[in-house]
Structure 1
Amino acid sequence: MPLLSTVSASLADVLALLLPVECAGCDAEDQVLCGECRGALAPRPMSRLLDDEIWAYSALAFEGVPARVIRRLKEDGRTGLARPLGRALRAAVLAAGAAGDAVVVPVPSSRAALRRRGFAVAPLLVRRAGFRPVALLAPARVTADQRGLDRDARARNVAGSLRVRPRPAELVRDRPIVIVDDVLTTGATLLEAARTLRSAGLVVVAAATVAATPRRSSATHR
């Protein structure tokens, strides 16, 4: 083995001892993401019409490996996972029509989530997908945690929770917008984002997410 390779391997071994890592998808040791789990993140775009208002495109089903990897990003702060997730998201964003002069608008994190994590999930994923996130939306009020809420409760929880930033909005007034979030569950957040942007006279054409919850999705594979 060449000297450089030997040194690199030795350093990797030392780092594995000092900074143990496990695969985000299956907990295999000494790998951030093993080959099999990386393969499970290969995009399989699907679409779903939300309340006859907006089409949402998702790259993966929120189950198994994709669900575990997304949770590791969001709950454990493993931001390196945003890159493989971003590659999956890119397929969904392109399926949603983000080509040419389309504007990619991430759903903003709540102030509480931003304080807890130290980073905003959706903008990070958009950047790792190879797009420039445009911060047209901002939180307008505090909301409860969406976990555990049913469809109607989620819709009530997010109603009026977003506002449009006027200055950047003026710069993209006539351009098509694709809204991006990490996971589609009931669609309440994406619908609220679309309604907020449209109420300001902006043109929302679709939404895109990394994953969609299968049990709540009537998605059609494309």
Structure 2
Amino acid sequence: MASLLLGAMLGAALDAWAVLLPVSCAGCGADDRALCLICRSALRPTLHRQQLVDGMSVVSAVSYEKVARRAILAFKEQGRTDVARPLAASFATAIASAVAGRVELVSIPASRDGFRRRGYDPVRFLLRRAHLPRPSPVLSASHERAHQKTLGRHERELNLAGSLAVTGQLAGRRFLLVDDVVTTGATLAEAARAVRDGGGEVIGAATLAFTPRYFGDS
């Protein structure tokens, strides 16, 4: 009964807010919601586990398609930070599932162009919204990378090879890599390579979403 009352109160509050600041659902385009209830439910995590070619385990919360893809693109490319909370909740579930013992989070450094265009780092934004620790600043870009979107698996690997370096000594420290979307795994593999070369231990990775084009259900 209490949950029904809370849901009704939340719906009424959202209706009132929509009158003042009308928005459309980032998942389906319906009026008056950042994410409608149906699209919000589509973002609930269904954990997907996979292994990259280097043997590293990756846990992802959702498949990067349909509602999830539209919501993530809205967050990353259209400044729709109003959808960050449900995305962050799913991301946090994947991270919690991947954590084993005492670890530090480490994210991929955002490109200069991406940060300038958005005004924020999507992964760090989601971590803050999920009330998770800040990622340790142990990685830096050693050179600029070409845009990845049009590149295939092998081309991504070549583009990323040697693109990341560590900042400091990592011996005796354990890390979980975190990223928003894993496509081919090339970015995570390069990050793992850099951390290991710096003396750190990589226990695995967690992402908000995975691309089913390269990774089917498992």
Using the alignment, how far apart are the partners of 1:12 and 1:54 within structure 2? 44
Rounded Cα–Cα distance in structure 2 between residues aligned with 1:10 and 1:38: 16
CA-CA distance at 1:53 after TM superposition: 2.7
**If the length of structure 1 is used for normalisation, what is the TM-score?**
0.86
Question: How does 1:133-172 map onto structure 2 within 5 Å?
Answer: 133-166=135-168, 169-170=169-170
* Structure 2, unpaired ranges of 5+: 1-12
> Which has the larger displacement, 195-204 or 153-162?
153-162
TM-score, scaled to structure 2: 0.88
**Pair 140,219 (structure 1): closer, same or farther in 2 beyond 3 Å:** farther
CA deviations 1:127-174 (Å, max 9, x no partner) are 2233212222122211111001000110111111112121xx55xx42
1: distance between equivalents of 2:68 and 2:14? 29
Asked whether the equivalents of residues 48 and 57 of structure 1 are also in contact (C-alpha less than 8 Å), the reply is yes
Q: Superposed, which structure 2 residues align to 1:37-52 within 5 Å?
A: 37-52=39-54
Partner of 1:54: 56
Query: C-alpha deviations, 1:83-132, integer Å up to 9, x for none?
Result: 21111011111221x25421111111111111111111111122223321
Q: Please give the root-mean-square deviation of Cα atoms over the aligned residues, in Å.
A: 1.8
Q: Which amino acid aligns with 2:69?
A: A
Aligned to 2:179: 181
Structure 1: segments with no counterpart, 5+ residues: 1-7
Using a 3 Å threshold, how does the CA distance of structure 1 residues 219 and 104 change in structure 2: closer, same or farther?
A: farther
Q: How many residues align?
A: 205
Structure 1 residues 35 and 11, CA gap change in structure 2 (3 angstroms): closer
Is the Cα contact below 8 Å between 1:104 and 1:131 reproduced in 2? no
Cα shift readout 1:54-105 (whole Å, capped 9, x = no counterpart) = 1111000000100000000110011222221111011111221x25421111
